[in-house]
Structure 1
């Protein structure tokens, strides 16, 4: 399985996402020559993405798909890295040449863990996910309902026993023409009114 590493710095942003009813996490950390985009997409009814952590290595354009282990509600977040994944991180940092001191993945992850923000506004998440949609294009089927339906039709009022599905509202992050700030405010308003949004597949012109 590889070597376990604590990433308990995730607790604050993970808890914030749950507490504010916006179960999506996205933030970027720069370290040396590397740029690391962390993404999590989760909600109570979504088993496919539960505990799944996507780490996009921006400079080398490679996606690491990791699982977060541990009792998250108690602040326990752990990842396991295989040797080949460590090599991908070294390449992102441009350290694969073998010069300089030996690379210590444990120390590097400690620094990365300490750099995880404690809070990320929804508008910032929207902006990051919109700018990097191509990075997780292959994962859209797991994180969106009917991922090929990308043309917004309008709103639909839900009955009291239902609530908007996160996998549907996330499409506003990616396909709305509004600013990230306006999208964030609109999603809050939709949830307040217990409304969802409807989508269809774009028509293909001849």
Structure 2
């Protein structure tokens, strides 16, 4: 069973010592929930020449957290279209329903693991005065491992980033939260995904 949603979010790069500012003064935000920690493990799949990520598409198998499963993310203007399928016991092969969506990019090639990523995610929920969840702030400490070619040592990269994702609120909330984060020293992320940073050197970034 494949579920679909539109992912509207803003991403920010921050240093390891960045202190997340108070967000209960953001216009429209009446309450900020206590932090909830998730330990996430994800394996990203692609072709050897990285056709999916070059097309701003990500395919991953994630365990941990409330949305574990297979995720396929596709560009949709300024947002991203996300398809979600449950984990299949005993298999590391992406569900056919997801592979069919990107069949034109894969051209018959079966994607295989290209990156393993572990993330310590601290989630804070932002609510309005009626208790409705407007958005979620995810504070992610990430370690990505890219296997080396021909017996070479793997490439390991670690970083910290923030994601503010809209849940049931207006996009003005994202803008307002973003202004507070920028004022505290966060920087707008130039990347569409964590995968793009993990594979930076293999995508021609040096």
TM-score when normalising by structure 1: 0.31
TM-score when normalising by structure 2: 0.31
Ranked by relative contact order (alpha carbons within 8 Å, sequence separation 6 or more), the top structure is: 2
Larger radius of gyration: 1
- Identify the structure with the greater strand proportion: 2
